[in-house]
Amino acid sequence: MSKQLGFLHNSEKCVGCRGCEMACKNEYQIDAAPQWRKVFQLHEEDFSLPTRMFFSMACNHCAHPECLRVCPVEAYTKRDDGIVVHDPNRCIGCRLCTMACPYDRPQINSAKKKVEKCNLCYQRIDNGEQPACVAACIPGALELVEINDILDQKTGVLKTLPGLPSPKLTTPSIRFIGPKQGKQIRRD
Amino acid sequence: MKFHQSICPRNCYDTCSIISTTHKGVLISVEGNPHHEYTSGKLCPKALDDVKKVYSPQRIRYPMRQRGRYSGFWERISWDEALTLIAEKILSLKETYGSSLPLALNKYSGNFGVLHNAMEGLFTGIGATTRTVGSPCWSAGVEAQTYDFGTFFCSDPLDMAKANLIWLWGVNPAWTAVHQMPIIFDAIDGGAKVVCFDTHFSATAARAHRYVQVRPGTDGLLALGFAKVLLEENLIDSNLSSYTLGHEEFFHYLENEISLDNCSEITGVSISTIRELALEYGKTHPACIWAGFGLQRYTNGGQTLRAIDALGALAGHLGEQGGGVQYAQFQTWRFSGAIQNPAHPFNISSNTDHPSIDSLTQNQKQTDRLLNINRFSEEALSCTDPPVKILWISGRNPLSQDGNLQQWKKLINQLDLIVVNDLFHSKSSEAADLFLPITTHYEHWDLNAGYWHYWVGVNEPAILPIGESRSDIQIAWDVSSKLNELEPGSCIFPTSGDEKETLLRELGPQMLDILGLKKPEEILKAPVRANFPSTAWENRIFATPSGRYEFFSSQASNARLSPLPIFVPPLNPSIDAPLRLLTPHHYSTINSQVYASGADNSDYVLHLAPELAQRHNLAVGDRAQIWNKSGLLEVVIQPLLGISADTVIIFQEQVEANSPLNCLIGTPLTDMGQLILGAPGFALNETFVNLRKL
Ligand code: SF4
Ligand code: SF4
Ligand code: SF4
């Protein structure tokens, strides 16, 4: 593998608008239920003050993808740039991958009885374009990045957020810029 | 693959420019227009769901008639049957009552495209009818700013990036004006400080340097408190006497009537915070205030806006690049109005150009029966001579958004015919007799302007109408045609036309001048930014009678209001209903407009302070009831830090419940709105409820 592409998400800038979720649906006209990308609110209990912070997650194109490891029909492949691609033609809908993924990102499409997931818009990337979700993020909170040591050494770049599974499981290709808290003068 | 220009017609700050993609006549994708400086290539989730919305199986594709209101037994009928039914009913009522006043139109902002004003045009073409005036949204603030500045106008929203201090006051752009967020983030990256004032801790507040929680309805007093500190600390613009009127009187009011102790006690903000923030606001230039719409949806809403304007003026922030007090604007909406004012055949010769709107509106005012949109049901019921008999609902969903549903029920009982034109069934169509399917903005021509940014552009059809749907203007032509077929001369609205030609006629000389265009056709190429300066009131020449910023407004006193901005307390809770209910917008909806892929909630979620939840022995997920004398609603409990214990919040999310949220709402009115919009606004945030565990 020559490199590992992934996402960098900035919770300070993410306003929780779900534009990324819907841009993905717009691009692929995915049925209503499967959510390749999903925006989550960070649990308020994990912070000392109320946060109203969000993060957006799709497939993390892990360095050690569990989905790929457990799939009995080799529906998953990992490209040279690190993108984990799922091939619906091979998929038999056994759901092993949906159980194996610690992030719950492979999604079952109950109408088609197959799994589907984010393939990091590889056709757009091959065209020199940004993934649809990244291109759509209005405040610029979601970026496509190369996961490497230079990135990890930057201040403020985190490998995980409170409440997420341990990155040791699959070495996900996602990094975070965590929430900063302002001063709150509240009456409650 | 083909690309088309569209404009998002929702009632939203952003009014995005959209590029839609079709393949073999099918809409396959929508994207933000990268060449539009505000949209900058990006759309919100509501618009990104448009393809699904256009082809949604729930969309109504044919004219339908309901056998029995609320029965849900809808049967498909032909357009000719539907039009005949409507036209015959209109004509028979006209004969019975000798007037067309029994015919009422209730229309607002479901689609802000100019061609949708064809509905008004149709009604004007029929004769004197019953109409709505006013706005459920922004009336008090519009009037307040008109007293102060002479008209309400705001800076280009990009101007905010130049601010060194931004006060976001009662506004949650993270959810309701997402495209402003990158501009605010740019300002932060450039060193600006952001303070957010709100009743609850919002997604915007979370991204500010400082969040200040204000007791609902007391923001005006807080602004006056800040003003008092500026005065005490001598942080007043030394040039005030050259461009303002009545600052002495205002100083006098601050000195004698405003005490910081009182201000702190009522607003819930400590004196030290008031001092600290006021000093920062007085000393930092440029400093911008963005005042949101929610602020003025109180019985004292207009005074609140006037107090905030006065604070901005006092500190010398008006007309400052990156400063000012921003609310909204209507200057880019100076369309010719030819659609809603069809030329009368008797003076057709004098009307070959555009009829003079002023004289026609004048005419219309004399003849039409105008009802406050916020008290429509009550006022319509009180019309007896003649009574209202036909109601046409267009671009609205009053049974989900209006207050006083009990009166609405009565009104519905008295009506002979209710017509709804819409895309989907709604709370309002449940009561309708006829449903006319309309096109989306991907299926018709239109022309749209923003009320926040300065851009105006056309919407071109990308695909053919779905099913038998028709555009509002086509429906208006068709009704006129049927009326004239049954009784020649019974409607002067055109009986046919061309959508594109009609929209070009809306660009009269004034609009062409504002847009810097020579010919209307030039707008067809791409959206155009009006050529206003980026900073509102940059020369400090105002549009008031005195030409100055008016602390002291004679117009206000003529309207029997205080000439100076003053604090008037909001409504107080009572023992029967001790909690204030706020119903702010959710990121996924605009009022009752939702998106198809939105979560299907079956319950309203009541957000409340953990302390209040505890007091009622309520835990997350518990079921509870809130009620008041208007109605009762079952809710699910969600405790949340950042809400004070005297307030509960239900966001306007899509919920499939029998009883709608507005069953709790009466029709309290705002203090201002009458002069400029013809009726006071809706003081929606003055709603109080009681809470009990189930
Ligand atoms: S589009 Fe951007 S800001 Fe909106 S939820 Fe997604 S990551 Fe967050
Ligand atoms: S996130 Fe889940 S689906 Fe994606 S690569 Fe990792 S294990 Fe597989
Ligand atoms: S990269 Fe493409 S497929 Fe993956 S979440 Fe984003 S838009 Fe969807």
User: Phi and psi for B166 in degrees, rounded to 5?
Assistant: -120, 125
Cα of A15 from ligand 1 centre, angstroms: 6
Query: How far apart are the C-alpha atoms of B71 and B62, rounded to whole Å?
Result: 18
pLDDT digits (tens, 9 = 90+) for B72-108: 999 999 999 999 999 999 999 999 999 999 999 999 9
Enter the DSSP assignment of B444.
S
Considering CB atoms only, which of B29, B185, B268 is closest to A139? B185
For residue A132, give the ligand 3 atom closest to its CA. 7
List the end-to-end C-alpha distance of chain B, in Å, as a whole number. 56
B463-498 as b/e, with b when 16 or more CB fall inside 10 Å?
Answer: bebbeebbbbbbbbbbbbbbbbeeeeebbbbbbebe
User: Phi and psi for A175 in degrees, rounded to 5?
Assistant: -130, 160
- If phi > 0 it is left, if psi is from -120 to 50 it is alpha, else beta; for residue B537 that is left
pLDDT at B597: 59
Least confident of A19-33, A53-67, B398-412, B607-621: A19-33
For residue A159, give how far its alpha carbon lies from the nearest alpha carbon of chain B (Å): 22
pLDDT digits (tens, 9 = 90+) for B530-553: 999 999 999 999 999 999 999 999
pLDDT at B44: 94
Query: How far apart are the C-alpha atoms of B468 and A24, rounded to whole Å?
Result: 30
Cα of A24 from ligand 3 centre, angstroms: 5
For A3-33, what is the HEC assignment? CCEEEEEECCCCCCCCHHHHHHHHHHCCCCC
pLDDT at B598: 57
- The count of other CB atoms within 10 Å of the CB of residue B37 is 17
Query: How far apart are the C-alpha atoms of B71 and B431, rounded to whole Å?
Result: 9
Average pLDDT of the residues of chain B: 94
Q: Please, are residues B433 and B419 in contact by the beta-carbon 8 Å criterion?
A: yes
Query: How far apart are the C-alpha atoms of A157 and A161, rounded to whole Å?
Result: 11
B chain contacts of residue A55, beta-carbon cutoff 8 Å: none
ipTM: 0.90
Query: How far apart are the C-alpha atoms of A58 and A6, rounded to whole Å?
Result: 10
Q: Please, are residues B20 and B29 in contact by the beta-carbon 8 Å criterion?
A: yes
Mean pLDDT of B412-420: 98
- The count of other CB atoms within 10 Å of the CB of residue B202 is 24
Q: pLDDT confidence of B346, banded at 50, 70, 90?
A: very low
Determine which of B48, B269, B646 to mutate to test the interface with A (most A C-beta atoms within 10 Å): B48
Query: How far apart are the C-alpha atoms of B688 and B370, rounded to whole Å?
Result: 29
- Using a CB–CB cut-off of 8 Å, the residues of A that contact B are 12-13, 15-19, 21-23, 25-27, 29, 32, 44, 49-54, 135-140, 179, 181-188
| Closest residue in A to B272 (Cα–Cα) | A185
Q: Is B641 helix (H, G, I), strand (E, B) or coil?
A: coil
pLDDT at B354: 39
The correct answer on CATH 3.40.50.740 for the domain covering B64-133+334-450+455-529 is yes
Query: How far apart are the C-alpha atoms of B407 and B662, rounded to whole Å?
Result: 13
Q: Please, are residues A1 and A80 in contact by the beta-carbon 8 Å criterion?
A: yes
Query: How far apart are the C-alpha atoms of B623 and B616, rounded to whole Å?
Result: 11
Residues of chain B with CATH 2.40.40.20: 579-667
Cα of A144 from ligand 1 centre, angstroms: 13
Q: What is the largest CA-CA distance in chain B?
A: 74
Length of chain A: 188
pLDDT digits (tens, 9 = 90+) for B144-199: 999 999 999 999 999 999 999 999 999 999 999 999 999 999 999 999 999 999 99
Query: How far apart are the C-alpha atoms of B355 and B529, rounded to whole Å?
Result: 26
CB contact under 8 A, A17 and B641: no
Considering CB atoms only, which of A18, A49, A182 is closest to B587? A18
Note the CATH architecture for domain B139-330+544-558: 3-Layer(aba) Sandwich (3.40)
pLDDT at A184: 82
Give B63's contacts (C-beta < 8 A, 6+ positions apart).
Answer: B76, B77, B78, B79, B81, B82, B434, B435, B436, B437, B468
B chain contacts of residue A53, beta-carbon cutoff 8 Å: 206
For residue A177, give how far its alpha carbon lies from the nearest alpha carbon of chain B (Å): 13
CB contact under 8 A, B642 and A52: yes
For residue A172, give the ligand 2 atom closest to its CA. 6
pLDDT at B596: 59
B376-390 as b/e, with b when 16 or more CB fall inside 10 Å?
Answer: bbbbbbebeebbbbb
Instruction: Name the closest-CA residue to atom 8, ligand 1.
Output: A14
High-pLDDT (> 70) share of chain B, %: 96
Q: Which ligand is nearest to the CA of A78?
A: 2
Tokens 């005030």, residue located: B240
Cα of A157 from ligand 1 centre, angstroms: 18
Residues of chain B with CATH 3.40.228.10: 139-330+544-558
B535 or B342, greater pLDDT = B535
Considering CB atoms only, which of A44, A139, A185 is closest to B211? A185
Of A158, A164, A163, A162, the closest CA to residue A176 belongs to: A158
Looking at residue B464, its amino acid is L
pLDDT digits (tens, 9 = 90+) for B253-285: 999 999 999 999 999 999 999 999 999 999 999
Task: Tell whether the model's pLDDT for residue B39 goes beyond 60.
Answer: yes
| Closest residue in A to B174 (Cα–Cα) | A15
pLDDT at A186: 80
Where chain A has pLDDT below 70, the residues are 188
Q: Please, are residues A14 and B175 in contact by the beta-carbon 8 Å criterion?
A: no
Of B22, B616, B13, B14, the closest CA to residue B5 belongs to: B22
Q: Which ligand is nearest to the CA of A12?
A: 1
The CA-atom distances, in angstroms, between A52 and each of A12, B196, B407, B584 are: 10, 14, 39, 16
User: Phi and psi for A24 in degrees, rounded to 5?
Assistant: -65, -45
What is A5-64+118-177's CATH topology? Alpha-Beta Plaits (3.30.70)
User: What tokens does B396 get?
Assistant: 């609205």
DSSP secondary structure string for all residues of B354-423:
PPPHHHHHHHHHHHSEEEEGGGHHHHHHT--SSPP-EEEEES--HHHH-S-HHHHHHHHHH-SEEEEEES
pTM for the complete prediction? 0.94
CB contact under 8 A, A188 and B641: yes
Q: Please, are residues B195 and B167 in contact by the beta-carbon 8 Å criterion?
A: yes
Q: Please, are residues B492 and B96 in contact by the beta-carbon 8 Å criterion?
A: no
Task: Tell whether the model's pLDDT for residue B359 goes beyond 50.
Answer: no
Query: How far apart are the C-alpha atoms of B401 and B396, rounded to whole Å?
Result: 8
pLDDT digits (tens, 9 = 90+) for B211-243: 999 999 999 999 999 999 999 999 999 999 999
Of B640, B636, B652, the closest CA to residue B598 belongs to: B652
For residue A19, give the ligand 1 atom closest to its CA. 1
User: What tokens does B291 get?
Assistant: 């005042």
pLDDT at B348: 37
Task: Tell whether the model's pLDDT for residue B574 goes beyond 60.
Answer: yes
User: Phi and psi for B197 in degrees, rounded to 5?
Assistant: -105, 125
Q: Is B647 helix (H, G, I), strand (E, B) or coil?
A: strand
Q: Please, are residues A24 and A58 in contact by the beta-carbon 8 Å criterion?
A: yes
Pairing of strands B165-169, B287-291: parallel
Mean pLDDT of B575-588: 94
Tokens 């030819």, residue located: B338
pLDDT at B181: 97
What is B579-667's CATH topology? Barwin-like endoglucanases (2.40.40)
Of A39, A15, A23, A36, the closest CA to residue A98 belongs to: A36
Q: Is B37 helix (H, G, I), strand (E, B) or coil?
A: coil
| Closest residue in B to A183 (Cα–Cα) | B210
User: What tokens does B285 get?
Assistant: 């230039």
Looking at residue B437, its amino acid is P
For residue B103, give how far its alpha carbon lies from the nearest alpha carbon of chain A (Å): 41
Considering CB atoms only, which of A16, A54, A136 is closest to B43? A136
Name all residues whose Cβ lies below 6 A of ligand 1: A 14-20, 39, 54, 56, 137, 139, 141-142
For chain A, what is the HEC assignment? CCCCEEEEEECCCCCCCCHHHHHHHHHHCCCCCCCCCEEEECCHHHCCCCCCCEEEECCCCCCCCHHHHHCCCCCEEECCCCCEEECCCCCCCCCHHHHHCCCCCCEEECCCCEEECCCCCHHHHHCCCCCHHHHHCCCCCEEEEECCHHHHHCCCEECCCCCCCCCCCCCCCEEEECCCCCEEECCC
